[in-house]
Structure 1
Amino acid sequence: MSTTITPVSIPAVAWDIAANVYFPANFDEQLQYPVIITAHPTGSVKEQTAGNVYATALADEGFVAIAFDASFQGESGGEPRFTEDPGFRVGDFSFVVDYLVAQPWVDENKIGVLAVCGGAGYAVAATMIDRRIKAVTTVAGSNVGRLMREGFSNYDPIAMLEAVAAQRTAQARGKAEQINDLLPPSVDYATENGLTDIDVLEATEYYKTDRGQHERGCTSFNFARQGALATWDAYAHAETFLTQPLLIVIGDKPGAFASYRLGMELYGRAASKEKELLVLEGVSHYDLYDQPEATGQALKAAVPFFRKHL
């Protein structure tokens, strides 16, 4: 038998969250299983790295895994679309946990999270709030709030917030929404226009080509709705509230999305008494999305970590 993928709809605030449950081979609904929630990066959907790489591999190791689309994105509900609001992104995790604890095949004391890139920042914040999450692994973890104050706003978040305010006023008066793509349309376009950062180039290769492209994926923000990120910090109060076991996996090739720097910061700040930092030599942020050697090393650490703590 092989892994079985079952789509489910999970009630949220006023809409449903779309998720795929990855059941291991020989799954027995009469038993209770440890479950790992896998959370997608900013700009991704559940079928991409969270699902087709990490959830699949975790199910192969005997865990139940569940990959979900963030509210306003993918197949999940919520309007306006492409909203990237940290309050909702963090809250989504607890709705997924609500679903899990109502299933007879879930061991409610063995629920963990593995999250990638921006999803990892939201996962850290969710883990601090929801004590039903017993262990967390971040892979190429980022902090979208920090990036919004830095490169995403050209290091001028006040000007960005002024522009967001103007856009909201314009939309209230009938103007169309402004949907901004965070990436150039192609690697060639990026290089021709002097964009040389490794994360930007590799993100473009991943999202804009057959390597990682998905029909529902969209590396876009609804501009009028991105202001909430400006004052948000995924790691706020980690020194007090992030006490669950923590595994941080990063590559040592730094780029604009700062997973190397932010991983080091999280390791230092987390209150977790049991925490691990794995720095992979010669590995970039996007290698940890889908490249077999890098993701294999991440999973080689994550699987025993979850077996120990779940």
Structure 2
Amino acid sequence: MSEYYTFELNKNVNRTSVSYNNRYGITLAGDLYTAKDMDAEKKYPALVIGAPYGGVKEQGPGVYANQLAQRGFVVLTFDASYNGESGGEPRHTSSPEIFSEDFSAGVDYLGTHPFVDRSKIGALGICGSGGFALSAAAMDVRIKAIATTSMYDISAMRDLFPSEMLTAQMQQLAEQRWKDFENGEPTYVPTFPESPVDDVPEGLEANAAEFFSYYGLKRGHHPNARGGFTLTSNLPFFNYQLLNHIATVSPRPILFVMGENAHSRFFSENAYAAAAEPKELYIVPDAIHIDLYDKVEKIPFDKIVEFFKSSM
């Protein structure tokens, strides 16, 4: 489905399908974006961009790469391990450690190109990838600057449950492990339809309706991004906290970008409070969470470019 993109490629940008392995030997599928007038004899700053949790490279990451390549960056987008066109079995598995590793694997790949300045490689995470990018940066000092947009810290979700609800969910997932083992494969229940529909179904909770308005409609629908992961994928996030070491990213800078009206604001605000200087919290006026997936007129690309160019 690599030909299925949710945006139009700018006439001044080249996009090349690439593949490379992460540290676990999983083959990642990516797209490399460069300006058509790039001088391959020179060295350029580079960015690796991760998709929203459950998203793919043909959606939001490509929207960002399409813009940032025009502004002087070499940009790599990728599908997370076990998802999209990347390798790994079983499909639709989620792993906080491996998803963080996928960012470092992108740095590995970018750094092999003679036209990339290894001392100027940054990471940008959209939604759930914001947490994975920060987790990767906490241990990978090659990542010189980090930006997140509409960040979700998936591992913080356990703190949103009352203790009795968390205990019940862990018990339910423990039972699910036996079912998966007996069935020979993990259970995966997609959230969004196989083909896009025209309207958001009635009766959805507000946040679910917001996500459906992107992933379930023509705006952002992609057959490789139907939402959700194998049911037992939630278990490691109860035990692996992505941002425990966010303060150690310093002195490398972090930019948190969030919508003024985003339901996810508290994730960025909490991460900002835990991070050490230098750090910045940038609020996009009159924007909700999914606006920063693909609304080019709202995504503050000038701010993002200024941040990376001044920080690396």
Q: What's the TM-score, normalizing by structure 1?
A: 0.90
> Using the alignment, how far apart are the partners of 1:74 and 1:176 within structure 2?
18
In the other structure, the counterpart of 2:274 is 269
Aligned-pair CA distance for 1:291: 1.6
- The alpha-carbon distance between structure 1 residues 58 and 239, as it changes in their structure 2 partners (threshold 3 A), is same
Secondary structure, aligned partner of 2:83: coil
In the other structure, the counterpart of 2:15 is 5
The one-letter code of the counterpart of 1:302 is I
1:169 matches 2:169: no
The one-letter code of the counterpart of 1:274 is P
Is the 8 Å Cα contact of residues 149 and 155 (structure 1) preserved in structure 2?
A: no
In the other structure, the counterpart of 2:8 is none
RMSD: 2.2
The one-letter code of the counterpart of 1:251 is G
In the other structure, the counterpart of 1:285 is 289
Secondary structure, aligned partner of 1:178: coil
1:160 matches 2:169: yes
1:236 matches 2:247: no
Q: Aligned ranges for residues 89-108 of structure 1 at < 5 Å? A: 89-108=99-118
Aligned-pair CA distance for 1:155: 7.7
> Using the alignment, how far apart are the partners of 1:133 and 1:278 within structure 2?
21
Where structure 2 has 5 or more consecutive residues not aligned to the other structure, the ranges are: 1-10
Q: Aligned ranges for residues 94-243 of structure 1 at < 5 Å? A: 94-150=104-160, 156-174=165-183, 177-182=186-191, 190-191=201-202, 193=203, 195-197=204-206, 199-243=207-251
Give structure 1 regions of 4+ aligned residues with deviation exceeding 6 angstroms.
184-187
Is the 8 Å Cα contact of residues 200 and 216 (structure 2) preserved in structure 1?
A: no
Is the 8 Å Cα contact of residues 137 and 248 (structure 1) preserved in structure 2?
A: yes
- The alpha-carbon distance between structure 1 residues 125 and 263, as it changes in their structure 2 partners (threshold 3 A), is same
Secondary structure, aligned partner of 2:52: coil
Aligned-pair CA distance for 1:225: 2.9
> Using the alignment, how far apart are the partners of 1:209 and 1:172 within structure 2?
35
Query: 104-113 or 231-240: which moved more?
Result: 231-240
Where structure 1 has 5 or more consecutive residues not aligned to the other structure, the ranges are: none
In the other structure, the counterpart of 1:309 is 311
Secondary structure, aligned partner of 2:20: strand
Aligned-pair CA distance for 1:147: 2.3
Is the 8 Å Cα contact of residues 131 and 153 (structure 2) preserved in structure 1?
A: yes
- The alpha-carbon distance between structure 1 residues 55 and 170, as it changes in their structure 2 partners (threshold 3 A), is same
> Using the alignment, how far apart are the partners of 2:259 and 2:220 within structure 1?
19
> Using the alignment, how far apart are the partners of 1:262 and 1:157 within structure 2?
19
Query: 117-126 or 242-251: which moved more?
Result: 242-251
> Using the alignment, how far apart are the partners of 2:92 and 2:166 within structure 1?
20
Is the 8 Å Cα contact of residues 8 and 19 (structure 1) preserved in structure 2?
A: yes
In the other structure, the counterpart of 1:56 is 66
Query: 121-130 or 93-102: which moved more?
Result: 93-102
Secondary structure, aligned partner of 2:189: strand
- The alpha-carbon distance between structure 1 residues 269 and 3, as it changes in their structure 2 partners (threshold 3 A), is same
Is the 8 Å Cα contact of residues 187 and 204 (structure 1) preserved in structure 2?
A: no
Deviations 1:251-299 (A, max 9, x none): 12142xx2x111111111111x22211112221001111123211xx21
> Using the alignment, how far apart are the partners of 2:101 and 2:164 within structure 1?
28
Is the 8 Å Cα contact of residues 32 and 107 (structure 1) preserved in structure 2?
A: yes
- The alpha-carbon distance between structure 1 residues 237 and 24, as it changes in their structure 2 partners (threshold 3 A), is same
Aligned-pair CA distance for 1:63: 0.7
Is the 8 Å Cα contact of residues 149 and 156 (structure 1) preserved in structure 2?
A: no
> Using the alignment, how far apart are the partners of 1:302 and 1:155 within structure 2?
41
Instruction: Name which of 255, 266, 271 aligns with 1:247.
Output: 255
Deviations 1:195-248 (A, max 9, x none): 342x32221010001100112222121012321012232221223344311111
Aligned-pair CA distance for 1:166: 1.3
> Using the alignment, how far apart are the partners of 1:89 and 1:49 within structure 2?
17
| Greater helix fraction, Structure 1 or Structure 2 | 1
Is the 8 Å Cα contact of residues 191 and 226 (structure 2) preserved in structure 1?
A: no
Deviations 1:9-56 (A, max 9, x none): 1112132011100011212222111101111000100110011x1011
Secondary structure, aligned partner of 2:255: strand
Deviations 1:136-192 (A, max 9, x none): 1100011011125537x998222222222211112222365311334699796653x
> Using the alignment, how far apart are the partners of 2:133 and 2:248 within structure 1?
16
